[in-house]
Structure 1
């Protein structure tokens, strides 16, 4: 007796889908209970359309006689297994009930596994917005008009151009806001931007008739993220509509970023400008750097999947990459999971490999962030959970697969793996020379900054160029000093006249001592005032060049006390002060060769040798041009302990290394750049192990 086909579940829906890449028709099976969609091809559709015939033979014969397809019983058996695996068949027998019960028991999670899964990811629905979305969607139809898109694009372009003209201010605002208050502002701006992002998805889905089941918060490793359930968009047959829903959030966020950038460029400084800065930066960065990435299941992934018309893109690319590794690394006779055109086949393999590397970096970053979010003991535990679940677990699963099939791996591949491991370990134990990098600034070994010692009016000044020892560079006149000196001279002369008239007085000799003391006092004051005025004659302390003369100086201009007027340098010897990270400074010794690459001068490389290495970290920067807040290469923090006058201190531990340059630079002026030092050669494997062990010992000390 011919077996009958198992019955299908009655609530399943069959929906048309976009055609496959080869032009063949496709459909979607919608499971309303789980709200899942399964894509099927033409042959599957024809078999399901004749499922009511009951007999596999009848179904196959009907398809062969009524269509150009030529299926056999194996095709029908494969479809039956697919339907059974995804619980799309109606359970009508006792054996089916037992099988379903056993499957549910196998899928039952232990309390630890449940806690682990819900710690890593879970959703918290907050609203079912379908009703109010349906009411407001018609009123916002103007947002989807071409004129609106053109207007927003033009305004955003104008904002970018205006922000580009204020780029230094924009960049400085970003660095200055890396504080507790700034981080709170970024968090609030992120919340607003993501709310608009999800609203864009929901509104566009409603516009195309897709039901938005719920909106809420998804916690990814305890980090809250808003989400919108638009999973029913797969029932749309038009791929352009699915693409519009997937990209709506990014487009809404980009529009917000562009308009916020324009507003930031126009409004004056104040709380409103700071709020607009937060909105602009968070929207630009998150949209372009996070949401646009196709390597995680964000908008970029769904956009790419729609453009390629390839559902389950990550899974399919990953299966192809695993097969490629097993075939080309292990030498296994691994069948390809699916047949694709050669270009698409190779592209998906490369995409999967890049995705794995990208996720490795992201997961390690998440693990480090989780570690710092909690107290040390819990942080270490959660760090190990992150690394174990996202990195070690999939790697070990693949290794178990290779181990189970080790008999099928060719001997030559096993021998090659041992040789490669030996070469890798040997390469890790051999000391390899390498250059150490750091930021630095070039200046003359002997240089003197000319300051105005007192406030006064500039009488005359020298021009930039060659100067001689003792040459007057700036002459400053202080009317207050001149007046004080004249007053003291007048009092001295008055006391001299009084002393001369004492000879004929009866008590003259008695008053002489008192008047002589006053005379000496006034004479000393006049001499002190003249000496102080002489200090306003600013002369060159040595023969050299006068540089960096303040452009605002001219005869008759008033200068402030301690105002820097210019710099005198000796151009015969030049020094580079480099700032090297703490992890590399112990590899540097006096006499090591070094190179200095001035910023903006690709062919102006200077060579030199290390002459001194500081034994303590640098607590301040010697020149403002090195500070990131002024456009320099070193991030800094305010020096809170010594007050605002002390400037800023480097964010990380840096040590100063002095390098004597062999030749004078062509452009003899102070400049910043990058330093490369040929440090001590070391094997990377022991160094890496020592650092890992040091970090482990340090972090376990709680």
Structure 2
């Protein structure tokens, strides 16, 4: 937070002749930053805070409006080697005049020129703030709701809630995984819903900063009542913000760090309460909102706010605790100097700043990882959003920096020649040098001899065997039908009544015996049918098999019918081999079928995984094109790669004909029957540009369903 340049000022000689005086509206405080004393001053003109070296601050005491800057500098003692020299003091005075810390009687500063140029305007798209007013006026609402958190007993309550939420989520880990799997069907409406949740959470996040800043400042006798707030655009994404730069007037780095972490602290409370409510909530829209709340807090706090590689809360907490300030600017300059030194142009002492440069490199890599993640999410929502994100990122972080670098290198032709040569070499290598290539193909895993289990009778599901291997004769599903039991009891009572009537008719009226016998035969037939149905209430295995209760586990206590089309589960013989059925669309089919032959081994991984878990050997490399999917899970509606339309029976039918590639697993596989898998098919090496072109064609082909 050094004194930064402001409006254009006269040269150093002209400033040295001025006789400025300290602005009475200026506020200052002595802090120890990075083990060294500094003075923090509030610039009244720009409403910002600046860090001054003690020697520059001592110079302010000599500026009383009667002596010039040059005279005041001459009265200063000699500067140490690591302190600002006389010329730097004059430049610092010029900056303080531009910010309103010093005033020159009888003179007016020229107005600050607005930034010009299309490059600056486009750069503003990455980060822009829209001031909406003073949040301090609403602190009377937020202070009772959040102020208790910043007390010792409030911290104990926070720990108890966070511990309870963590324990509940560990206990209900299967439910958590099931809810996570539901995110695979995340759509545009879910994105809007998540953004609303994100905005509400961030409002409380920023209010937490303001409440904590007011309390921490009051602990040192300072008063902070004004907190400018509004909406900031970060990578074109709107989010609330609050300005707590007044915390520079607080001396304790621990209090400043607490204010920096206050937003994450408040979000942790929100996430803990949402996690506890989610654990006991019934399935439905409300439970989804609670789960999204926990995820939004986890992603926004852990990946962004708490991360010191991003210039957000974690960055400032680290700066306050370690006494490292302006790390981003220092890291960028250090990385530039080291890069120029490698090219023979940078300063000789550039390598001494390798630590800030290393932080800058890590921060840049992390930001680009986030940018690629944004592109991936945008493509998942809609092709146009993904293409827009790609163009925006290339414009802001590739095209504009390249143009700026070109303008900066115009004065250094040697460096410009080296950079141009490197760029041409990289481009030529990308166009000419073949590199390994591969393609990911989707498919399903099936077990030969697998049998789907349906409800053979009407009844209520009372017991379901857990997934896993079962011996012959073990029970899979147990049903119960109270109506059938009552009917059987009534038939048994009716049979006893008919027996009494038969005896009476034998003695009194033998002519009634034929009717009684007919009724008795019908009764026995009905009893036999009911007992046969009751015998089918228990579904057992005929041979050792692996039981996969895909639907039955969620039906415990529910009523099922014998005419239900959806199976309750799948029974797979333990000795059955695993068959991998891969689907190829028209765009990928030619490449893959030309790259594999019968007997080719393919690495197979689980859907969405990063590491192959087993291999499969291709059994048929030249199949005929077909018009049906091996599984509906491979359609785009289910998150798969194949564009489909509704068939005559409502089943998904490929928009275009597909190819199927079959392979057999080479070892025992733990994946369940019907699981989605991905095969990694090695293609002939080709240049990077060719691979990117094919990848773009495949993306267009799938997104537009051409």
- 1:689 is matched with which residue: 666, 690, 693? 693
Following TM superposition, by how much is the alpha carbon of 1:85 offset from its aligned partner in structure 2, in angstroms? 6.5
Answer whether contact 1:611 1:660 (CA < 8 A) is retained: no
Which of these residues, 210, 218, 223, is aligned with residue 202 of structure 1? 210
- d(CA) in 1 for partners of 2:415, 2:669: 66
Secondary structure of 1:19's counterpart equals: strand
TM-superposed CA distance for 1:89, in Å, is 5.2
1:426 to 1:93, Cα distance in 2 relative to 1, 3 A: farther
Residues 122 and 396 in structure 2, CA contact (< 8 A), matched pair in contact too: no
Q: Does 1:331 align with 2:366?
A: no
Q: 1:586 to 1:291 in 2, by over 3 A?
A: farther
* Corresponding position: 1:298 with 2:308: no
Q: Is 1:251–2:259 an aligned residue pair?
A: no
Is 1:605 the counterpart of 2:614 in the alignment? yes
Q: In terms of Rg, which structure is larger? A: 1
Residue 58 of structure 2 is aligned to residue 46 of structure 1: yes
SS at match of 2:240: strand
Q: Aligned residue for 1:677? A: 680
**What's the CA shift for 1:692?**
4.6
Give the superposed CA RMSD.
Answer: 5.7
**Cα deviation code 1:485-532 (max 9, x no counterpart):** xxxxxxxxxxxxxxxxxxxxxxxxxxxxxxxxxxxxxxxxxxxx9xx9
Aligned to 2:175: 169
2-structure distance, mates of 1:438, 1:673: 7
Measured after TM superposition, the shift of residue 370 of structure 1 is 8.5
Contact residue 198 and residue 249 of structure 1 kept, 8 A? yes
Unaligned runs of at least 5 residues, structure 2: 1-12, 218-222, 461-468, 489-528, 554-558
Quote how far apart the aligned CAs of 1:33 are. Answer: 1.9
**Alpha carbons of 1:392 and 1:657: their partners in 2 closer, same or farther (altered >3 Å)?**
same
> How far apart, CA to CA, are the structure 2 residues paired with 1:353 and 1:617?
50
User: What is aligned with 1:503?
Assistant: none
Contact 1:56 1:76 in 2 (8 A): no
Residues 127 and 233 of structure 2 are in contact (CA less than 8 Å); yes or no, is this contact kept in structure 1?
yes
For 1:550 and 1:278, locate their aligned partners in 2 and report how far apart those are by CA, in whole Å: 28
Would the aligned equivalents of 1:13 and 1:29 in 2 still touch at CA under 8 Å?
yes
CA contact (8 A) 2:636 2:643 kept: no
Please report how far the alpha carbon of residue 154 of structure 1 lies from its aligned counterpart in structure 2 after TM superposition: 1.9
* Alignment of structure 1 residues 396-407 onto 2, 5 Å: 396-407=403-414
CA deviation map 1:369-410 (0-9, x unaligned): 89999997x997896455323432123322433453133689
CA contact (8 A) 2:579 2:664 kept: yes
Aligned position for 1:387: 394
Among 326, 350, 355, the alignment partner of 1:347 is 355
Q: Does 1:192 align with 2:205?
A: no
Equivalent residues, number: 610
For 2:577 and 2:444, locate their aligned partners in 1 and report how far apart those are by CA, in whole Å: 17
Separation in structure 1 between the aligned mates of residue 549 and residue 377 of structure 2, nearest angstrom = 47
Aligned to 2:229: 215
Query: CA-to-partner distance for each residue in 1:659-684, whole Å, 9 max, x for gaps?
Result: 1235x538798485855434321413
TM-score by length of 2: 0.68
Aligned partners of 1:681, 1:565: CA distance in 2, in Å? 42
Given the alignment of the two structures, is residue 261 of structure 1 paired with residue 275 of structure 2, yes or no? yes
287, 295, 299: which one aligns with 1:273: 287
SS of residue paired to 2:684: coil
Q: Could you tell me which residue of structure 1 aligns to residue 364 of structure 2?
A: 356
* Structure-to-structure mapping, 1:234-633, within 5 angstroms: 234-270=248-284, 272-328=286-342, 330-334=343-347, 345-363=353-371, 384=391, 387-407=394-414, 422-423=428-429, 425-427=431-433, 430=434, 432-434=436-438, 436=440, 438=442, 440-441=444-445, 443-449=446-452, 546-548=545-547, 561=562, 567=571, 569=573, 571=575, 573-578=577-582, 585-589=589-593, 590-591=597-598, 592-596=600-604, 605-609=614-618, 611-612=620-621, 615=625, 621=631
Kept in 2, the 8 Å contact 1:156–1:261? The answer is no
Measured after TM superposition, the shift of residue 302 of structure 1 is 2.1
Q: Distance in 2 between matches of 1:446 and 1:364?
A: 43
Report if aligned partners of 1:449, 1:566 keep a CA contact under 8 Å in 2.
Answer: yes
> Are 2:17 and 2:70, in contact at CA under 8 Å, matched by a contact in 1?
no
Q: Assess, with a 3 A threshold, how the Cα gap between structure 1 residues 380 and 84 changes in structure 2: closer, same or farther.
A: farther
